[in-house]
Amino acid sequence: MSNQHDELDQNEDLENDIDGEEQPELTPEMLESLQLLAEKLIVNWDFEVQSIELIQGGQMALVWKIMTENGPRCLKRMNRPEKKSLFSIHAQDYLAKKGAKVPGIIPTKQGSLYAKQGPFLFVLYDWIEGRQFDITVPEDMEWIMKGLAHYHLDSVGYKPLSGIPIFTKLGRWPNHYVKRCQQMQSWKLLAEKTPEDPFSVEYLKEIDYFIEFGKEVLGKLQESHYPEWVAQCKESPNLCHQDYGTGNTLLSNDEVWVIDLDTTTFDLPIRDLRKMIIPTMGDTGVWNDEVINHMLKGYESVNPLTPEQKKVMMIDMLFPYELHEVVREKYGKKNDVLAEEFTVAVEFERSKVKEINRILSEL
């Protein structure tokens, strides 16, 4: 596939920043302007509008609920550049037409999957009524993990149309490890400039170990089944959602619906698993075998993993992602972060490594 289209990597830091943006307080003038924008855009589709309700009005994320004679629809401004948006728009259209549980895209009068206004693309979807999941409830956790497995399986076969760049992270994990280690090294310079700051004191005390450990994990990854699995997956890749979780899933009529595919990319399916499992553990501050076993049981009831694939997943989980994220908040995003948060992250990473090494020895 790489010979047919340009392959581009998504800027993960930008994705995280956008996904985590704070919603501004909208003034009456802003609300009126957004109402007029929706009214102007909706004429691109062929139906009678009964009402328009702004659901989300962030700096980038705009979502309206459009009531029509055929029921509710969702009008959304894509919050990615056009090339990235086209990849995900066509991926969602492929999935929906295949019967996967993602909202279908409603074409414009001209038959296009989107309307364009200035530099932005706007897409109209089926509106999915349902409830969000609570992953502290075992039944919900099982549901959501099965939904992820179905998403991965259903996405196999998606091939972007000619001219649409491919977005992929296949084979690029080593680069991501190196980048994070370099960031943690460069942030030492910022910490050294604030020697009175308790966070910086703790950071300088601990971080060299984790930088070196990150490099060790890189070596383990390169010696694992990872390169071979990547080569296999490139022949018939699946999509990773990259932002899968309670905010982007709904339970409707005993089926898991996946929404907001903006950041979807080609990658090994365990990327989404890691992004579900590690934050879930990190939120509690402790590794919990019962939780991870329940998550994997739900996923593997639909899409089983081989022992070698599980080893790759566990090696990836060794990398100090949670620690890096805490430090990025402090030095990358310039937010106030307490030294205690760093200490908790350090303790979690150390305990996590011990438990994962035990699991690896049993595989």
Q: Distance of CA 19 to CAs 79, 186, 362, Å? A: 9, 25, 37
CATH superfamily of 138-362: Aminoglycoside phosphotransferase (APH), C-terminal lobe (3.90.1200.10)
Residue 4 pLDDT exceeds 90: no
Q: What is the mean pLDDT of residues 345-363?
A: 94
Contact between residue 71 and residue 62 where contact means Cβ atoms under 8 Å apart: no
| Cα 11 from Cα 228, distance rounded (Å) | 25
Q: Give every CB contact of residue 50 below 8 A, 6+ residues apart in sequence.
A: 67, 68, 69
Give phi and psi for 133, each to the nearest 5. Answer: -90, 155
Q: Distance of CA 8 to CAs 101, 280, 314, Å? A: 27, 29, 26
CA 301 from centre of chain = 22
Domains of the chain by residue range: 7-126, 138-362
Q: How many CA atoms lie less than 13 Å away from 250 in the CB half-sphere?
A: 13
Whole-number CA gyration radius for the chain: 22
283 band by pLDDT with thresholds 50, 70 and 90: confident
199 burial (CB, 10 Å; 0-12 / 13-18 / 19+) is buried
59 band by pLDDT with thresholds 50, 70 and 90: low
Q: Distance of CA 277 to CAs 9, 46, 82, 168, 283, Å? A: 23, 43, 31, 22, 10
Residue 330, SS3? helix
pTM above threshold 0.75: yes
pLDDT at 251: 96
Q: What is the mean pLDDT of residues 56-60?
A: 75
Between 311 and 79, residue with greater pLDDT = 311
pLDDT at 325: 96
| Cα 349 from Cα 355, distance rounded (Å) | 10
Q: Per-residue pLDDT tens for 82-92?
A: 988 999 999 99
The tokens describing 160, both together, are 């972007």
| Cα 47 from Cα 174, distance rounded (Å) | 49
61 band by pLDDT with thresholds 50, 70 and 90: confident
| Strand pairing class (249-252; 255-258) | antiparallel
Topology of domain 7-126 in CATH is Phosphorylase Kinase; domain 1 (3.30.200)
The tokens describing 243, both together, are 């932002």
- Which one, of 263, 233, 235, lies nearest residue 247 by Cα? 263
Q: What is the mean pLDDT of residues 149-178?
A: 96
| Strand pairing class (265-266; 249-252) | unpaired
pLDDT at 222: 97
Long-range contacts (CB closer than 8 Å, 24 or more residues apart) made by 18-26: 18/60, 18/61, 18/79, 19/243, 19/263, 21/58, 21/59, 21/60, 21/61, 23/56, 23/57, 23/58, 24/57, 24/58, 24/59, 26/54, 26/57
- Which one, of 292, 276, 264, lies nearest residue 356 by Cα? 292
Q: Give every CB contact of residue 206 below 8 A, 6+ residues apart in sequence.
A: 342, 346
| Cα 215 from Cα 284, distance rounded (Å) | 26
pLDDT at 153: 98
Q: Distance of CA 225 to CAs 21, 97, 258, 265, 362, Å? A: 36, 34, 29, 21, 16
